[in-house]
Amino acid sequence: GQSLEQPSEVTAVEGAIVQINCTYQTSGFYGLSWYQQHDGGAPTFLSYNGLDGLEETGRFSSFLSRSDSYGYLLLQELQMKDSASYFCAVYNQGGKLIFGQGTELSVKP
């Protein structure tokens, strides 16, 4: 089966950088994705890592180390609108997503 661990909540100030970690245990690994979900809203795709290394998309970057079963999401130049829950998720062999419990990010002025 699959299990994922990420911190339940993180607080940071506007303009700062924050890193949200995710460790996973899977019977087979097919990639790690990150989704953002604002309160009451739909999850939206942020990034996917299938191979080791860093993927950068604007202010957001995602990193994967398959040997450590570890990834992180890095958010730079934090804005108030970045306050949301962030979910890491792994794919199983059937292409289905298994989500972590989510990290609630609070950005303070």
Residues in contact with another protein by CB under 8 A are 30-31, 33, 40-45, 48, 50, 87, 91, 94-102, 104
Closest C-alpha among 105, 16, 26 to residue 70: 26
The C-alpha atoms of residue 94 and residue 75 are separated, in whole angstroms, by 30
**Which of residues 45 and 79 has its CB atom nearest to another protein in the complex?**
45
**Which of residues 57 and 109 has its CB atom nearest to another protein in the complex?**
57
∠ CA 74-78-84, nearest 5°, is 80
**Closest approach of Cβ 107 to another protein, in Å?**
18
**Closest approach of Cβ 43 to another protein, in Å?**
5
**Which of residues 44 and 106 has its CB atom nearest to another protein in the complex?**
44
**Which of residues 95 and 109 has its CB atom nearest to another protein in the complex?**
95
**Closest approach of Cβ 89 to another protein, in Å?**
8
**Closest approach of Cβ 30 to another protein, in Å?**
4
